[in-house]
Structure 1
Amino acid sequence: MIVRTLLFALPLLWLAPPASAAVTPTPTLVYAFSRFEPYKTVDTDGKPGGPYTVLLQELARRSGVQLDIVHCPLQRCLALLQRGQADLSIGIRGNAERDRYLDFLDPPFAPPTATMVLQRHDDPRPIRHYDDLYALRVGVVEGASYFQRFDDDRLMRRDAAPSARLALRKLAAKRFDVLLINAQQGRQLSRELGARQYRRAELQFPGELPRRIALSRLSPAVQAAKPRLAAQLQQMLRDGSVRRILDGAAVQAAHAGSKRSGRSLHSMSTPH
């Protein structure tokens, strides 16, 4: 009986996988998250969300990778990406400096969006041309990139705020004269903070670059995953998943903004 049992067990040993054939752990990518309403938001419990975060989470799921989120101010997020301590981010515009350490995933997930110029509602000064800005204190968000001419302009008087929300408050408090802001973000936040305080100047700048997911050039993990991420993003664009994520979130943001302001809204553009 003992011999028969051993003979029966021997074939099973051949079927058992070797220790080296153990299941490979799921790769993990670190997402450097900086708040950028309404695209990257934080709920009352401090949990990151918003359509850009949902898009990355779905892309990671389809690509078979785990996404860990690190919440950081924009400049800190950029530093993490520059050192390869974070793998990817979204809602970050490329420029000459950033392109040294950031690689951008193709295909783009959305077209460019405009930059608007906001004034206080009671400010009568007409702002129609770029040169009109030289006489003003121009509000910006720390670490943000806008468009090449403005980014490279060393003569422009800038005054920075840590976030777009604080920048709008500084504008209302007359800490600066105008604010440059992503058009969609400007509409959303001005409604939340009181639409009657602000008005849009005639001057507006068209978007220059389509929107892409940013990858750290110094991250071996994300560079290895890049072909898979690109293929899955292409599929998400093809099957309409990206559009549904962005459009669905835009509708929710518009509804929430209209409730807060009590005003009707025009249609909202795709997030930046």
Structure 2
Amino acid sequence: MRFIVYIFIIFAFINYAYAANEPNAAVQKISLAVDHAPPYSQINQNGEVSGAIVDIFREMKKQLPFKLELVGCPFSRCVRMLEQGEVNAMGGLILTPMRQQVMQFVTPPYMVLTSSFVFYAREDSQLQINNYDDLYGKKIAIMRGAVHFKRFDEDDELTKIAVLTESTAINLLLKGRADLVIAVEDTADHAMSVLNQPANKLVKMQYRFNDTIYGYLALSKQFSVTPLAQRVDALMKTMAATGQLNTLIAPYELPPINEQALSF
């Protein structure tokens, strides 16, 4: 496996170096959609955008000739803009067959979490969710456009309340307008500390769905066929294989990309 990775690095580097030295290459713009999902991507009160995917693209800018436009938007709006080609790229997306039809995923993923989809309730609610069937009849706040696990996403008998942000979902829960919130355990626990959410007022339910969750960079279909997009794809692979990507995501407490992810 390690030999294959080294061979891959060589070919990716040759492809990237050839493209980067094309004569008279025009400096193009890449628009990157960023939703507010601290600490992995966030927009502060002054409208400044930051996060792991932003750091990755800023590093790419040092090696590829493009201007970077950061577009802050709610998650569902970001996804829709990517699908419609209104922005070129977005990070942190879970790959699904449906999404593959409308956007191009860049491999390998840069976020690899061995975590659980968990359900939060208010501490004073006395709710007990011990198995999947206990979810029926409960109002569950979800982030619009997000992907969770197959059974949950495809279950039309569940009562789901779609909102724009994870923070809004938690607020609905605290105000008693939702019974539960679904979230990725690792990212939710970290995000609540960053957002100063009152985690002490919430309790995790016993039922959870364990999974390995991969977060990808995705490109719009329109942008993905351009020479610049192909360079981004090649450079992303090289950064992952050489360990540079792990260095960039480390400050966000994301685990390093493993060999299994590299083989994608």
TM category (shorter chain) comes to: 0.7 to 0.9
1:78 aligned counterpart, secondary structure: helix
1:25/1:224 Cα in 2 relative to 1: closer, same or farther (>3 Å)? closer
Pick the structure with greater CA Rg.
1
1:179 aligned counterpart, secondary structure: strand
Distance 2:205 2:255 in 1: 18
Q: Which residue of 2 aligns with 1:185?
A: 187
Q: Does 1:225 align with 2:228?
A: yes
Q: Please show how residues 132-171 of structure 1 align to structure 2 within 5 Å.
A: 132-171=134-173
TM-score by length of 2: 0.78
Q: Does 1:95 align with 2:96?
A: yes
Distance 2:238 2:88 in 1: 22
1:223/1:210 Cα in 2 relative to 1: closer, same or farther (>3 Å)? farther
1:114 aligned counterpart, secondary structure: strand
Residue identity (%): 21
Superposition CA RMSD, Å: 2.5
Deviation per residue, 1:203-225 (Å, 9 max, x gap): 222335522111111225x6433
Q: Which residue of 1 aligns with 2:18?
A: none
Distance 2:41 2:58 in 1: 12
Cα shift at 1:242: 2.0
Cα shift at 1:107: 1.6
Aligned positions, number: 233
1:50/1:177 Cα in 2 relative to 1: closer, same or farther (>3 Å)? same
Structure number with the bigger relative contact order (C-alpha 8 A, sep ≥ 6) is 2
Q: Which residue of 2 aligns with 1:61?
A: 62
Cα shift at 1:26: 1.2
1:206/1:59 Cα in 2 relative to 1: closer, same or farther (>3 Å)? farther
Unaligned runs of at least 5 residues, structure 2:
1-21, 258-264
1:236/1:81 Cα in 2 relative to 1: closer, same or farther (>3 Å)? same
Q: Which residue of 1 aligns with 2:13?
A: none
Amino acid in structure 1 at the alignment position of 2:235: Q
Q: Which residue of 2 aligns with 1:51?
A: 52
Deviation per residue, 1:14-55 (Å, 9 max, x gap): xxxxxxx98432121111222122211113421100222212
2:142 aligned counterpart, secondary structure: strand
Q: Which residue of 1 aligns with 2:218?
A: 214
1:152/1:223 Cα in 2 relative to 1: closer, same or farther (>3 Å)? farther
Distance 1:225 1:23 in 2: 14
Please identify which structure carries the higher strand content: 2
Cα shift at 1:115: 1.9
Cα shift at 1:90: 0.4
Unaligned runs of at least 5 residues, structure 1:
1-20, 251-267
TM-score by length of 1: 0.76
Distance 1:269 1:181 in 2: 18
Is the CA contact (8 Å cut-off) linking 2:121 and 2:179 kept in structure 1?
yes
Q: Which residue of 2 aligns with 1:248?
A: 251
Please point out which of 195, 199, 202 is paired with 1:198: 202
Is the CA contact (8 Å cut-off) linking 2:122 and 2:174 kept in structure 1?
yes
